[in-house]
Amino acid sequence: MVRGSDTDSSRQHPRKAARANVAILAALLASLWFGSSPVVAQTIKIVALGDSLTAGFGLTASEAFPAQLEAALRKRGHDVSIVNAGVSGDTSAGGLARLDWSVPDGTDAVILVLGANDMLRGLDPAQTRKALDDALRRLKARKIDVLVGGMRAAPNLGAEYGGKFDSIYPELAKAHDALIYAFFLDGVAGQRELNLGDGIHPTAKGVSLVVERIIPSVESLIERVKKRRG
């Protein structure tokens, strides 16, 4: 009986060993496929910080710049979320005052579109420069990548004012190593059919053109975020 038991036991050991090997292999594969530290793509969070041009004055939420931009980027395969942090009537100083709560922790990048109301009110360009400079400095300190949406002064304000105002955007972008889209309303400003009755704010169709033209710059912004993440 003892010999018989020894024989049965010896036959069972290979089977147990085989099952153990299968279990080990399964565990190994699971660790490779579903490891404790998987590489998971993270949605890139972008805040569009601006005035009525980003808020979408006179438009529905889905027609506003942030929503149209997010939809266009997703169609191009980008996993992004664009937050609308536009406040109609805001000046550059107003945007700076609310920067910390408008751009929450976890934000990857900001599209900064401020200054149009400064210009329309004829504010001293030096004030606009200082506010935007401070905003860019604070965003840089938080390691948030920035795309500056440039503005241009209306011709009726004169060449001197225009020269001081228009130069703000490229000069600050260069100083803070930020990306720049030279004129946010390129192709839309002055086009009656692309603006609301006030001649200032884009229609949904006008916003679509803004999105179409700014997308290459936003994709460069996305690439910066990806490189910084590693």
Three-state secondary structure call for residue 49: strand
E strand residue ranges, 9-132: 44-50, 80-86, 109-113
From 102, 166, 201, 208, active-site residue: 201
Q: Is 78 an annotated catalytic residue?
A: no
On whether the CB atoms of residues 120 and 144 are closer than 8 A, the answer is no
Q: How many CA atoms lie within 13 A of 27 on its CB side?
A: 6
In angstroms, how far is the first alpha carbon of the chain from the final one? 67
Contacts of 80 (CB under 8 A, 6+ apart): 43, 44, 45, 46, 70, 73, 74, 222
Rounded (10°) CA dihedral 70, 214, 158, 56: -20
DSSP 61: G
From 52, 92, 102, 208, active-site residue: 52
From 13, 37, 105, 198, active-site residue: 198
Q: Is 51 an annotated catalytic residue?
A: no
Q: Is 52 an annotated catalytic residue?
A: yes
Active-site annotation, residues: 52, 198, 201
